[in-house]
Structure 1
């Protein structure tokens, strides 16, 4: 007998959302780890909010929602709130009942400054790393450091000469200013982004600055690759593929080594972890950096650029000796293994740029990008920890 669809909608539904989630769903172990990390941050949350006023959206709910954005490749916070209205899995992860109203997407904007002032995203990431250490998933024998570029949420058209900016401000103060071209005026009337002719013009970080994202720097990875407005992300990673520390800074050739030392010091201060060896590519073969590693009793497994190194020449310093010693160790089996394992760090960069959507920053400003990157690194660790614990 053929059944007929019910056209009459039921007024009341009685069910438990917990029963709708599969027992083996991958979000279940992730939710347990997230809830444990957030429970350990109760003092931080209490210090971030006043004892008076109306109750706010719980910070635990906001952090969980941002984790879902990383895990499910949701392009914007507005789209995330739309998904929360219709997806029971998302509601279950955020401990929201089907009848609960979903907060507006502007809540993330209003609370972003609070998250920054109290370092909430960094503390959450550290709590996830702490769980990995307590579960025995980390190792202090070998770490890897590498960096990648995050394209700024600004166009190359936003680059303006620094001198011209100053002169334009002076003209505006005097009430003057050159009239805009007819093409620019027509594009402004139609709402289009005005075209900029910069052919043949040399643009550097010393002469130009983005008006949209002043903290972004022009940088390129190598010869034959175009320059983009970028922020630089760096991390240290152990042999199990877990991210141990992250840092967002300006894109430059020297900041990566200075930030590596800061991350190593943070790991030792926060978690009591000091690696025995540190693997890195040729961008880290500066003599001063190698000397600093040796002062911390860390053996550098760093690829050294080709070329003659003569530690006996006049004027040779400790850095020259350090580079010569590291090159002499390159034939050892442990050094070769470190260089092979160094490529494991690229898995995180691939994940965070595709799944977490961090190939191009969603926000303007280094502090906002840092928050997103720390949450993306925490999400990556949670996925890796789930797989390692299940193995």
Structure 2
């Protein structure tokens, strides 16, 4: 049976004393005014029995989790200990002065059961996004996407080949989850990184990354924000691999459009997102890609660059500076690359051969989504592109705040689901703190948003 202790936590003389002691402009007061747990309780109601002894109030656990992220308390044991004597924390959690603090193991039992099944933290985060939309903190014109490496709770020394992991009957929960995901979706999870076939014994879902001084296992915190306001609109956890981060960028754009009707006019990102496929996806979403193009056409070794050749869309061929045609010679489906090559006889007799090629015939490549690359190249020459690159720094500020101020430099939970939970709580807290600024105070609660 679902407990309701938070409903009675601010009554009685002791609670009134705490109410009087807490400053009127305290941060937790401003955050508390933004919270309404009605939707969360409704989502959790089906996961509790209608009979039996009342449980620990799930609202209490959610409020404790928010305190832990706001004040960078990553240990649940320490969080429970501080809740015993910190009056501001007790007030925020609506815990009466004489009430007992839940045992730290209660978090694990609820997190891996009811909270995860009900998607509580995804719901909490999306409620903060809707509040930002209602408050006018989202302009809807400019979005920025980026990813940052977050170290997993896994030692770099404890790595094994996937075949040497224990079977599911003897494995820990993160290993069992990884084995189940690997069986259900084999293709994206079997590869563990080029040249690094090992996985972590304790958290095999984490990817090995050399982005730090010493290689680490970790995850990518993928975030999409609206600029210049800085509200986080979408969050996704992926293993720290560039290919999966780019795929997460597509998922976040599509999910924001589906759930919030958010369709920005411009999308900014760094060069890691500058592939033809991603640029085409952004264009198809109705946005201009303000993203540097991944382009190797300037690596000419002193020969004619690609810009010296004219493409004829009707004939699907290039024309070289000497007026000869480079016909279409094939298409590579996995990479989406069309290949064009001149006739060897034309190149052999050409007076410009020394400036053009040292091969039998000059060859060129054109991406399947070359139109999107051309669009992005044209945008790179505009003033709005430079503005988008400046606004994109807001994502870096979000990462810095999450790691330095809110304790997300290293994950506390294991597995891809644990990483997603921590990222959602962190993004929800950052949105709440944005809303709780004095100039944003006085807004309506999250109920019904």
Please say if residues 158 and 200 of structure 2, whose CA atoms lie closer than 8 Å, have aligned partners that are also in contact: yes
Q: Which residue number corresponds to residue 79 of structure 1?
A: 78
The 3-state SS of whatever aligns with 2:375 is helix
Aligned pairs (5 A) from 1:173-188: none
Q: Which residue number corresponds to residue 195 of structure 1?
A: none
Which stretch of the first structure deviates more once superposed, 315-324 or 42-51? 315-324
**Cα pair distance change 1:205/1:51, threshold 3 Å:** farther
Q: CA deviation at 1:136?
A: 1.1
Aligned pairs (5 A) from 1:353-372: 353-372=403-422
Can you list the C-alpha shifts for 1:105-145, whole angstroms capped at 9, x where unaligned? Answer: 11101101221111110001001111111111112101000
Is 1:106 the counterpart of 2:77? The answer is: no
Find the aligned partners of 2:379 and 2:434 in 1 and give their Cα distance: 32
Give the TM-score normalised by structure 1. 0.82
Please say if residues 85 and 102 of structure 1, whose CA atoms lie closer than 8 Å, have aligned partners that are also in contact: yes
The 3-state SS of whatever aligns with 1:33 is coil
Find the aligned partners of 2:98 and 2:234 in 1 and give their Cα distance: 39
Please say if residues 219 and 230 of structure 1, whose CA atoms lie closer than 8 Å, have aligned partners that are also in contact: yes
Find the aligned partners of 1:14 and 1:362 in 2 and give their Cα distance: 32
Is 1:233 the counterpart of 2:221? The answer is: yes
Q: Which residue number corresponds to residue 120 of structure 2?
A: 120
Q: Which residue number corresponds to residue 96 of structure 1?
A: 95
Q: Which residue number corresponds to residue 48 of structure 1?
A: 47
Q: CA deviation at 1:15?
A: 4.8
Q: Which residue number corresponds to residue 174 of structure 2?
A: none
Find the aligned partners of 2:16 and 2:202 in 1 and give their Cα distance: 49
Q: Which residue number corresponds to residue 396 of structure 2?
A: 346
Q: Which residue number corresponds to residue 378 of structure 1?
A: 428
Find the aligned partners of 1:149 and 1:335 in 2 and give their Cα distance: 26
Of 188, 201, 208, which residue of structure 1 is paired with 2:198? 208
Q: Which residue number corresponds to residue 326 of structure 1?
A: 376
Q: Which residue number corresponds to residue 231 of structure 2?
A: 242
Q: Which residue number corresponds to residue 322 of structure 2?
A: none
Which stretch of the first structure deviates more once superposed, 373-382 or 263-272? 263-272
CA RMSD, 1 decimal: 2.3
Of 252, 263, 269, which residue of structure 1 is paired with 2:241? 252
Find the aligned partners of 2:94 and 2:147 in 1 and give their Cα distance: 36
Find the aligned partners of 1:318 and 1:122 in 2 and give their Cα distance: 36
The 3-state SS of whatever aligns with 2:46 is helix
Give the TM-score normalised by structure 2. 0.72
Q: Which residue number corresponds to residue 149 of structure 2?
A: 149
Please say if residues 73 and 79 of structure 2, whose CA atoms lie closer than 8 Å, have aligned partners that are also in contact: yes
Please say if residues 217 and 229 of structure 1, whose CA atoms lie closer than 8 Å, have aligned partners that are also in contact: yes
Find the aligned partners of 1:321 and 1:226 in 2 and give their Cα distance: 40
**Cα pair distance change 1:130/1:32, threshold 3 Å:** same
**Cα pair distance change 1:293/1:15, threshold 3 Å:** closer
Find the aligned partners of 2:276 and 2:134 in 1 and give their Cα distance: 35
**Cα pair distance change 1:108/1:237, threshold 3 Å:** same
Please say if residues 204 and 218 of structure 1, whose CA atoms lie closer than 8 Å, have aligned partners that are also in contact: no
**Cα pair distance change 1:236/1:363, threshold 3 Å:** same
Q: Which residue number corresponds to residue 220 of structure 1?
A: 210
